[in-house]
Structure 1
Amino acid sequence: MSNEVLAVVAGKEITNAELDAFLQNAPREQQAYVTNPQFRQQYLEQLISLHLFAQAGEDAKLEETEEFAKILENAKRDILAQLAMRETLKDVTVTDEEVAAYYEENKQQFTKGETVSAKHILVDSEEKCTSVLESITSGEKAFEDAAKEVSTCPSGARGGDLGEFGKGQMVKEFEEAAFAAEIGHVVGPVKTQFGYHLIKVEKKNEASVAAFDEVKEAIKRNLIQQKQNAAYNAKVQELKEKYLQK
């Protein structure tokens, strides 16, 4: 229950609701553990310590010091500024129509380069690579079986499958050979810094524009950010004219 009293420090009750609010300040990566009893107990101990030190500061009349007054003044300024900025940005929205219009007007931004889907076999010498190629071209072994048997790349366990990749994702020599290869043909040996490769291209995909559904959320976030920046800058200018003394 939210009003359950978990501890009492100098007559002040620490409730479950206060602990829940305190837990909201836990790092994002720890938020998944806020219902864990042991985790909550650790934060309860921190909260109790916070109350203990606050009480000690009160007993020492630290709130009467100049330092306390200065910190309090700065905290008040920061809180008021945050609330005012939130008020400025609260009504910033982006409609579905705006998102769709941006997509149509800026399709060049969402062009995906050509890609290939390929498999490869990696070995440490040109002689071994040539030998494996001969066993594949003769029909003695399937490319995928050879990859599982001899490839030193972790992809060997998947029959050499590298999935789909675009330009700039592989080393230059490998990329050039893969994009130049005919679908279904095994090319190699191709030498790279990693060794010698045999490459089998399974599929080629021409450059295309990403579908609207793929990018609409990213567009919306971008437009909201732009509108928030504009609203913020406009408000700053307005407040400068009102309050800034020249």
Structure 2
Amino acid sequence: MDNKVLAVVNGQEITQRDLDIAISRFPRERQAYFMNEEGRKQLLDQIVSFELIYNYAKDNDIHKDENYLRSLEAAKKELLTQTAINKILAEVTVTDSEIKDYYEVNSHLFKNQESVTARHILVDSLEEANEIKKKIDNGMNFEMAAITYSSCPSKEQGGNLGSFTRGRMVPEFEKAAFELEVGVVSEPVQTQFGYHLIKVENKTKDTVKSLEEVYPIIERQLRNERESYKYMEFTQDLKQIYKVELK
């Protein structure tokens, strides 16, 4: 790609690459703003302004200002410290076999829980629930019955409750839902909210995620643990070299 010169400030070229680098430093959601001509022009104006002020600062000995010198030393210290930390932590490694061993020992941590996808109709009385059940048994569409009769806000979606795992619903409702066969409409189920007719549309059993699915998670966890240990160990060793006084 041609690195076109976009501006020259006091002999210093500002190029297309400089502009692209400046854009890349913004958060991803902000970068889109600079992907049109107007946005790029505004950013170029800002870069030009910074170059102008930089030249002014050099020509007016602002590099000798005490605040600048303190900030410079603080920045140098932070950069040097972070570079040392990165170098130390770069020694940490996690192998494929270690990740596999961890997975085999801790596979129970990577379960997809058993879940149910269901619809329901909620009414106040057992008599009303039985009447609706009879209509459904005689051919009325469950979703239409939910829209027509249910008192739950889910009626607007034909009684759809989406998917849920154990522990998400009241015990009576959960027991009935997880025991139902797919496509079967339950007998009325009483809970603290009233009487429910439940229709299960899908079920998934407990499954364990594959090693391939969780590999990055395990690798990151092991690396974080080892980096923390490495950091603590290294700083403890340094306390034997450099005097520390806590007051």
Determine the structure 1 residue equivalent to 2:15: 15
Determine the structure 1 residue equivalent to 2:140: 141
> Is the 8 Å Cα contact of residues 94 and 223 (structure 2) preserved in structure 1?
yes
Cα distance in 1 between the residues matched to 2:171 and 2:10? 70
Structure 1 unmatched runs, 5+: none
> Is the 8 Å Cα contact of residues 117 and 201 (structure 1) preserved in structure 2?
yes
Cα distance in 2 between the residues matched to 1:244 and 1:22? 43
Counterpart secondary structure, 2:93: coil
Determine the structure 2 residue equivalent to 1:201: 200
> Is the 8 Å Cα contact of residues 118 and 178 (structure 1) preserved in structure 2?
yes
Deviations 1:163-213 (A, max 9, x none): 4321233466643542354552324365566x8643112444444433333
Counterpart secondary structure, 2:85: helix
Percent of pairs identical after alignment? 40
Counterpart secondary structure, 2:199: strand
Deviation, structure 1 residue 147 = 4.0
Counterpart secondary structure, 2:188: strand
Counterpart secondary structure, 1:186: coil
Cα distance in 2 between the residues matched to 1:172 and 1:241? 59
> Is the 8 Å Cα contact of residues 185 and 200 (structure 1) preserved in structure 2?
yes
Cα distance in 2 between the residues matched to 1:155 and 1:92? 55
Relative distance call for 1:189 and 1:156 in structure 2 (3 A) is: farther
CA RMSD across the alignment: 3.3
> Is the 8 Å Cα contact of residues 113 and 207 (structure 2) preserved in structure 1?
yes
Cα distance in 2 between the residues matched to 1:31 and 1:83? 28
Structure 2 unmatched runs, 5+: none
Cα distance in 2 between the residues matched to 1:230 and 1:121? 55
The range that moved more, 48-57 or 68-77, is: 48-57
> Is the 8 Å Cα contact of residues 7 and 15 (structure 2) preserved in structure 1?
yes
Determine the structure 2 residue equivalent to 1:166: 165
The range that moved more, 20-29 or 61-70, is: 20-29
Deviations 1:76-103 (A, max 9, x none): 1111122222222234332221111001
Determine the structure 1 residue equivalent to 2:55: 55
Cα distance in 2 between the residues matched to 1:171 and 1:16? 61
Deviation, structure 1 residue 22 = 1.8
TM-score when scaled to structure 2?
0.78
Determine the structure 2 residue equivalent to 1:106: 106
Counterpart secondary structure, 1:242: coil
The range that moved more, 176-185 or 112-121, is: 176-185
Determine the structure 2 residue equivalent to 1:221: 220
Cα distance in 1 between the residues matched to 2:242 and 2:47? 40
Cα distance in 2 between the residues matched to 1:23 and 1:91? 33
Relative distance call for 1:47 and 1:130 in structure 2 (3 A) is: farther
Letter in structure 2 aligned against 1:50: F
The range that moved more, 220-229 or 25-34, is: 25-34
Determine the structure 1 residue equivalent to 2:229: 230
Cα distance in 2 between the residues matched to 1:97 and 1:33? 45
Determine the structure 1 residue equivalent to 2:115: 115
Cα distance in 2 between the residues matched to 1:114 and 1:96? 29
- Equivalent pairs counted in the alignment come to 242
Deviations 1:34-78 (A, max 9, x none): 544443333223322322332333343221111111000001111
Q: Answer yes or no: is 1:74 the counterpart of 2:56.
A: no
Letter in structure 2 aligned against 1:84: A
Deviation, structure 1 residue 116 = 2.0
Counterpart secondary structure, 1:243: coil
